[in-house]
Each structure stands twice: as C-alpha cells, then as structure tokens.
Amino acid sequence: GNSVTQMEGPVTLSEEAFLTINCTYTATGYPSLFWYVQYPGEGLQLLLKATKADDKGSNKGFEATYRKETTSFHLEKGSVQVSDSAVYFCASTNSGGYQKVTFGTGTKLQVIP
C-alpha cells in the first residue's frame, strides 16, 4: 500500500522566513498527492494538490511540485506569516482514484513574530 513520510516537527521560523517541509511517498502506480493544513482546534483543510508528475500545486503562497523521479512532494513558501502556524499533513491517494487517503505524520509549524 501507499506510505507517506514527512519531516518531523515542530518547525519554528521567524516571520518572513522561507519554509520547506519535506515529503516523500511510496506507491504503486501514480498516486495523487496533497497537502492538508489543520489550524489549532479546527478541522482539515485542503491546501493544495497535484495529480500527475511535474504538476505544481499552489495556494496562499504555498507550492509543491510532484516529483516522480525523487518520489517527493515538498511544501514550500517563500515568506511565512504568523497566521501560517498550523499542522501540515502530506498525503496521497491510491492510484486510479480518490479513495483512501494515506497521511504523513504531520509537521507542526510555529511562526514567531
């Protein structure tokens, strides 16, 4: 089955710093890849997604590129804000459909002023 590995947190950055959260996956076939964000005390929100190799997902200044050759989907943002403080989950779905989602362990990001 699929698996997702993401860097452990917590990650603490100063406001306006550059963010990278690494994520790699294992899967048979061609999974779709996602980043979800969970703000404190809230549910899960889809941040961005990519459905095929070399696709770049982007939203709210965050970006991630589906790299098949390195089986990676690293999340980046050029300048983080305090409001970006949250837990970020990398995830994949099984090839061929949007069914079960496999999540990484989550990375807590704390941005300090």
Binding residues for another protein (CB under 8 A)? 36, 41-44, 46, 89, 93, 97-106
| Gap between the Cα atoms of 107 and 49, Å rounded | 17
CB nearer to another protein: give 17 or 101: 101
**Closest distance between another protein and the C-beta of residue 79, in Å?**
27
**Closest distance between another protein and the C-beta of residue 105, in Å?**
5
**Number of other residues whose CB lies within 10 A of the CB of residue 88:** 24
CB nearer to another protein: give 36 or 66: 36
**Closest distance between another protein and the C-beta of residue 87, in Å?**
9
CB nearer to another protein: give 18 or 98: 98
**Closest distance between another protein and the C-beta of residue 113, in Å?**
24
